[in-house]
Chains A and B, each alone.
Chain A
Amino acid sequence: MPEGYVPFFIFVAAAVGFVLTMLLVAKILRPSSPFATKLEAYECGIRAATTARGRYAVRYYIIAILFVIFDVETVFLFPWAVRYKVLGWFGVVEVAVFLAILIVGYIWAYKKGALEWV
């Protein structure tokens, strides 16, 4: 086992120990009187309608799906962004073609109403 890791483990032990100590001290010092209202998510204000564990409609799921693809496609811009001086006009043209195709996809999704609230 390399010695270089010893300070790291001491650090981890100190961090965990600190958290545990604080929780223990708080537990001993604080008064304890639980009752139902206090345990609700919002003690004052709107009453919770249903439990948070149920299923509910994610209305923007199409936007979420579109996000997955448009988000990851930008990975192709990264190599150009770091080397754009070397790539020069060639890079600009390539990226323009790439973005043009991507924008066609965007226009299509927009026209199809995929970005509207359903």
Chain B
Amino acid sequence: MHPVTNVHYMVLSVALLLVGTIGVLTRRNIVIILMSIELILNAVNINLVAFSHHFGDVHGQVFAIFVIAVAAAETTVALGILIALFRNKETVLADEVDLLKW
């Protein structure tokens, strides 16, 4: 039986990072872009907790808690902005937000 090492966690985390990045870059729906950003933040959390466990150091776990809280705050603000946008423009698609350009 192989023990689960830091490398395993890092591979998982990099996979999540890639999924999230591809999601942000290819999706049009802003809600799905938000979910993809959330995936990246969770990839970070996996790293932080894995390293924290590895070093026997509590800093990483504390950091993960802060990341969770900040992610929630970001989501709340994003939903608020999105509702304001939807009221005026009736869309949640990123490529239809095109008023400002040169």
Contacts and interface: CB of A to CB of B under 8 A. Distances in A.
Interface residues of B, number: 13
A75 to B, nearest CB: 6
Interface in B52-102: 62, 65, 68-69, 71-73, 75-76, 79-80, 83
A76 B80 contact: no
A76 B76 contact: no
Contacts of A2: 1
Interface residues of A, number: 14
B75 A76 contact: no
Interface of B: 1, 62, 65, 68-69, 71-73, 75-76, 79-80, 83
Contacts of A68: 72, 75-76, 79
The 10 closest A-B pairs by CB, nearest first: A72-B72, A69-B76, A2-B1, A65-B79, A68-B76, A65-B76, A69-B72, A75-B65, A68-B72, A72-B69
A41 B72 CA distance: 37
A75 B68 contact: yes
B100 to A, nearest CB: 26
B71 to A, nearest CB: 8
A108 B73 CA distance: 16
A27 to B, nearest CB: 38
Give the residue among A2, A66, A69, A73 with the most B Cβ atoms within 10 A: A69
B72 A76 contact: no
A59 B62 CA distance: 36
A79 interface: yes
Given A61-B83, A65-B80, A79-B65, A73 B72 contact: yes
